[in-house]
Amino acid sequence: MRYAPLLLFSLGCVASLARADGFAVDKVYHPYVLANEMEVEWRFTSRQWDEGNVLNQQLGFGKAISDDFAVELYAIGNRDEHDDFSIDAYELEGRWMLTEQGQYWADWGMLFELERSHRDNEWRAASGLLMEKELGKNSLTLNLFLAYPWGDIADKELKTEFRAQYRCRWIPALQPAIEIYTGDDFVGIGPSLMGLWRYQGQKQLKYELGFITEVSHSGVGKDHTLRFALEWEF
């Protein structure tokens, strides 16, 4: 069957809805690596819910070390209960482009993450399958992650996360989308907007802005997440 891989991956994603354990609103990854790329990235995520406001920021620097593999190092900061903002963890990320863009009916990639707490003996490793399918001027992107934490942490269980994005490539600078995230008894959906400006060869500036609302009603009251990201590739 021509679409058997997509069917199996979709079934796996649906299954993840029932057993996802980690809060997942962050970023939908695309399965692409540009040869010789270098990038600086900043992400901002603010979650407003009944238990308060969770503010997270990530600053990363990445580089392609081959035509199909890139690495990125992040410093991750969080605001604590005293409204003090400080470094909370470090993360090493690897992106592997499995297929050339347009080579097959869909484009495939893998993501690998290793995170360590700044203050405590807490670790987290994750791997993810990335898929993107172009549908005319639209794109469907799916991410399925498996993660495992260890160290001085009580919850040592295998976790899953699912992310999806349906994007309209209207013009490069304005690309509206709908995103879905699942994790930790959480199912969220909401609109997003992204775009890019290219200049001087492959140099480009990308932005992403999304607003995700919890729709699974697992909690009481509001649960909204605002996410924003800037990425400079050079």
Q: Give me 214's structure tokens.
A: 């919890």
Sequence-ordered list of residues with C-beta below 8 angstroms from that of 216, at least 6 positions apart, any chain: 185, 186, 187, 188
What pLDDT sits at residue 125? 96
B/e letters for 23-40, b = 16+ CB within 10 Å, e = fewer, are bbbbbbbbbbbeeebebe
Q: What is the pLDDT of residue 5?
A: 47
Q: How far apart are the first and last CA of the chain?
A: 40
Nearest to 39 by CA among 182, 234, 217, 210: 234
DSSP 51: T
Q: What CATH number has the domain bearing residue 111? A: 2.40.160.40
User: CA 128, CA 113: separation in Å to the nearest integer?
Assistant: 9
pLDDT per residue over 164-183, tens digit each? 999 999 999 999 999 999 98
| Closest among 164, 163, 162, 166 to 139, alpha carbons compared | 166
Residue 43: its pLDDT value, please?
A: 97
The predicted-structure confidence for 63-89, as pLDDT tens digits, reads as follows 999 999 999 999 999 886 567 788 999
Number of domains making up the chain: 1
User: Tokens for 220?
Assistant: 């009481």
What whole-number distance in Å separates Cα of residue 162 and Cα of residue 12? 9
**Domain range for residue 179?**
4-233
pTM for the whole structure? 0.87
Segments of the chain scoring below 70 in pLDDT: 1-23, 80-82, 217-220
Using CA atoms, how far residue 228 sits from 26, 57, 205, in Å, is: 9, 10, 14
Alpha carbon distances (Å) from 103 to 100, 132, 134: 5, 12, 12
